[in-house]
A and B are shown apart, each in its own frame.
Chain A
Amino acid sequence: MATGSEYIVRTKDVVKEYVMGNNVLRALDGITLDIRRGEYVSLMGPSGSGKSTLFNAIGGLDKPTSGSVFINEVDIAQLDAAELAYLRCRQIGYIFQTFNLIPVMTALENVTLPMVFAGVPTDEGIERGIKLLELVGLGGRLHHKPTELSGGQQQRVAVARSLANDPSIILADEPTGNLDLKTGKEIIELLKRLNRENGVTIISATHDLKMVDVSDRVVHIRDGRVERIEDRSEIDLVVGEM
């Protein structure tokens, strides 16, 4: 994987505008953010603050109106569609609020799907898929369809899928948003463990305070701007106040 620059994700003056009829809606208003390798960062903010938009910009799912996003010091605006797909496939793992598993595939097939895109041989993919599902505690449910799994289990499959091609970044957009407290906590612990043990950088949007607890840094976003950034030491204080 990429060599040792300190920052894995850098955004510089990212602006994203949506045109709605005659109105221009400024969802992101100049976001500059540096995220270190191996960091666990939470993006916090009320809904409509631009979290998801920032997310899509970092993940290369949407092009910003102006400004640039660097992943491993590569400006992703310079990449063509195939290179972008390659980046999404190998470097970034996505976790969604709504899980977004492919309903027609089993848990194992869902996990091996990104490997198919990456051109991993089938046998090797299955072997790795089984290992990943065991890692997230679903070794016994390899051949279940998403509809046969609970919300928490589906999200675990999604976590396993996000790890399929051994990415350096995991982007999690409200991963606990559709889960109850207990399963949400399990997912958070799982993410934290991956972050600690595998050194995966985790960027997660949330308004879940439990998520804040495990983060190295919390970035508060309001009205498309970075309001403030807190380090872990300060966070404990904040949580204490709640």
Chain B
Amino acid sequence: MIALESIRVRFWRSMITAAGIFLGIAFLSSVLAGSAMSEIANRLSPEKLTTEVRAAAQARNMWLVVMSLIVCTVGISNSMLMSVTERFKEIGTMKCLGALDSFVRRLFLIEAAFLGIIASAIGWFVGYLGMFLLFLIRQGWAVAAGVSLRSVLMDLVTCVVVGTILTLLATVFPAQRASKLPPAAALRSEI
């Protein structure tokens, strides 16, 4: 509840964090959708590519996705750390009022989880939409719409799970730092 409110009030700052997740997941989603669609395109087209060529392209894509996700995680971590520093005083006050370390940690993790879920879902949608339009233009309706609903939903689940887990992972360290602050030190800091 407090975490939600805090996202709402610090909307633009949260959006920067969210943008990190969003971009990474959009890329992941587009690669997933792209490979599913090119699979279909390949099945429909008369001259088939060899399995080796396809596997190599697949591997290269995956490599790019992993790299981009790592970069995103670092970005989220940085932006969460900023958000902790920004709120030193607030955290100090809360601890003065009797907040436990675990409460402070939970606050940041819940905030991150919300951002993660929402940004990944949007990222999935945008990434998928992008690929859909691309294949629609290049290969026509049969290919673009040929992906089964089940695999689309599977991609959605993958994207949201990966996005949320990465966001949480990136937030563990900043949240830990926030929760361990001694209240007097946190109150003293002027920002």
Contact = CB atoms under 8 A, between A and B. Distances in A.
Interface of A: 56, 59, 61-62, 81-82, 85-90, 94, 96, 100-105, 113-114, 117-118, 161, 164-165
B103 interface: yes
Contacts of A161: 97
Given A104-B5, A117-B103, A61 B97 contact: no
19 contacts: A56-B184, A61-B182, A61-B187, A62-B184, A81-B101, A85-B98, A85-B100, A86-B98, A88-B95, A94-B97, A96-B93, A100-B89, A102-B94, A105-B2, A113-B94, A113-B97, A114-B98, A117-B100, A117-B103
A101 B96 CA distance: 12
A185 B138 CA distance: 76
Given A96-B93, A104-B10, A117-B98, 9 more contacts: A56-B184, A61-B96, A85-B95, A89-B97, A94-B96, A113-B97, A117-B100, A118-B98, A164-B97
Given A56-B184, A62-B184, A100-B187, A88 B5 contact: no
Interface in B83-100: 89-90, 92-100
Contacts of A89: 97-98
Contacts of B9: 103-104
A82 B100 contact: yes
B88 to A, nearest CB: 11
B186 to A, nearest CB: 9
Which 3 interchain pairs have the tightest Cβ spacing? A89-B98, A61-B184, A62-B184
Q: Which of A87, A103, A104, A164 has its CB near the most chain B CB atoms (within 10 A)?
A: A104
Nearest to A86: B98
Interface in B53-103: 89-90, 92-101, 103
Contacts of A59: 96
Contact of A104 (B6, B95, B187): B6
Contacts of A82: 100
A61 B188 CA distance: 11
B96 A88 contact: yes
B130 interface: no
Quick one: which of B90, B101, B183 has the most chain A CB within 10 A?
B183
A96 B97 contact: no
